């Protein structure tokens, strides 16, 4: 298995953790003052996720493709 892209991992993990904390603090603890803090964190993790996705897509385009030159069966 290939190693996971670190930017993609940071972005995905960050989104999950921040969204969970945001929901807990806003709904369960009834702390609406935390909304601006979390709204500032979402773009940071979105940038990590976009960078990781772009690197994964570019890596797939540059991957060598093995093509059999001869399809004869013996």
pTM of the model: 0.70
SS3 content of the chain, % helix, strand, coil (to 5): 70, 0, 30
Give the residue extent of every domain in the chain.
6-57
pLDDT band at 74 (very low <50, low <70, confident <90, very high): low
Task: Write down the pLDDT at residue 1.
Answer: 46
What is each CA distance from 37 to 12, 19, 71, in whole angstroms?
A: 19, 12, 60
- In this predicted model, what pLDDT tens digit does every residue of 17-48 receive, in sequence order? 999 998 888 888 887 788 888 889 999 999 99
C-beta of residue 56 within 8 angstroms of C-beta of residue 8:
yes
Question: How much of the chain exceeds pLDDT 70, in percent?
Answer: 80
Average the pLDDT over 53-73 and give the result: 72
């Amino acid at each position: 298995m290939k190693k996971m892209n670190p930017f993609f991992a940071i972005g995905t993990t960050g989104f999950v953790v921040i969204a969970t904390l945001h929901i807990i603090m806003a709904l369960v603890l009834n702390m609406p003052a935390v909304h601006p803090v979390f709204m500032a964190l979402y773009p940071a993790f979105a940038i990590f996720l976009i960078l990781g996705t772009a690197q994964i897509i570019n890596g797939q385009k540059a991957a060598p493709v093995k093509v059999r030159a001869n399809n004869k069966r013996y």
